């Protein structure tokens, strides 16, 4: 899953109209990156782009009133670097820079998505470099401290970080 999750607050929608909220992630440039001397630097030309997939927010379609009443989180969006993914995950190249794009489509039918009025929003501050392993120990620790899926890696109180171990009870009666 993408961490931290992409979250938006919507306003200005027609309260009674139905909307589908979507997200896709596109290449931000045509470079490959490496993390060197504590910073990101260009390491060459980008690999060929992965097939594009549009992620439809699972609460879609919903009324403008429903969307505007809450913070909309895309925490269920899943990322992969597996080009043959069959689960509908968004496919990205590791060590490449990406820009999430948020779309609001005024329709109650996925079939009409290509023909209905829609707006696209791009927030430059959400740009990121996709990685399969964190390049910076501080980022690793930040994710462990704040990501609910990393609870097995939290500090055990003695200054050590350990994976949780399952203890097997070996008593024979």
Which of 25, 34, 41 minimizes the C-alpha distance to 127?
25
Two tokens at 111? 């079939």
What is the spatial distance between Cα 148 and Cα 162, in angstroms, rounded to a whole number? 16
Domain boundary among 132, 147, 164: 132
pLDDT per residue of the chain (173 residues) written in tens, 0 to 9: 787 889 999 999 999 999 999 999 999 999 999 999 989 999 999 999 888 889 999 999 999 999 999 999 999 999 999 888 888 899 999 999 999 999 999 999 988 888 999 999 999 999 999 998 777 788 778 777 877 666 666 555 544 444 433 344 344 44
Full residue range of the structural domain in which residue 93 is found: 7-132
pTM of the shown model: 0.79
What is the spatial distance between Cα 10 and Cα 111, in angstroms, rounded to a whole number? 23
- φ, ψ for residue 47 (rounded to 5)? -70, 165
**Which residue has tokens 């269920």?**
76
Task: Judge if 55 and 69 occupy the same domain.
Answer: yes
Task: Judge if 104 and 144 occupy the same domain.
Answer: no
Task: Judge if 123 and 140 occupy the same domain.
Answer: no
Residue 2 covered by a domain: no
Task: Judge if 99 and 159 occupy the same domain.
Answer: no
Task: Judge if 162 and 122 occupy the same domain.
Answer: no
Give the per-residue pLDDT at 138. 80
Task: Judge if 34 and 107 occupy the same domain.
Answer: yes
Two tokens at 65? 């009133």
Give the per-residue pLDDT at 52. 84
Residue 1 covered by a domain: no
What is the spatial distance between Cα 77 and Cα 87, in angstroms, rounded to a whole number? 11
Query: In the chain, how many domains are there?
Result: 2
Task: Judge if 115 and 148 occupy the same domain.
Answer: no
Task: Judge if 56 and 71 occupy the same domain.
Answer: yes
What is the spatial distance between Cα 159 and Cα 64, in angstroms, rounded to a whole number? 48
Residue 80 covered by a domain: yes
Give the per-residue pLDDT at 51. 80
Residue 164 covered by a domain: yes
In the chain the first and final C-alpha atoms are separated, in Å, by: 44
Task: Judge if 115 and 167 occupy the same domain.
Answer: no
């Amino acid at each position: 899953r993408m961490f931290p999750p992409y979250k938006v607050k919507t306003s200005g929608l027609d309260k009674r109209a139905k909307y589908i909220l979507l997200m896709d992630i596109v290449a931000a440039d045509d470079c490959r990156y490496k993390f060197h001397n504590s910073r990101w630097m260009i390491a060459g030309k980008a690999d060929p782009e992965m097939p594009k997939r549009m992620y439809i927010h699972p609460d879609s379609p919903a009324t403008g009133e429903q969307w505007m009443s809450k913070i909309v989180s895309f925490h269920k969006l899943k990322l992969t670097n597996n080009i043959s993914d069959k689960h509908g995950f968004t496919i990205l190249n590791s060590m490449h820079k990406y820009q999430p794009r948020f779309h609001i489509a005024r329709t109650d039918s996925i079939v009409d998505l290509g023909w209905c009025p829609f707006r696209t929003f791009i927030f430059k501050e959400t740009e990121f470099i996709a990685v399969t392993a964190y390049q910076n120990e501080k980022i690793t620790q930040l994710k462990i401290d704040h990501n609910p899926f990393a609870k097995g890696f939290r500090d055990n109180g003695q200054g050590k970080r350990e994976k949780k171990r399952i203890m097997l009870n070996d008593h024979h009666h």
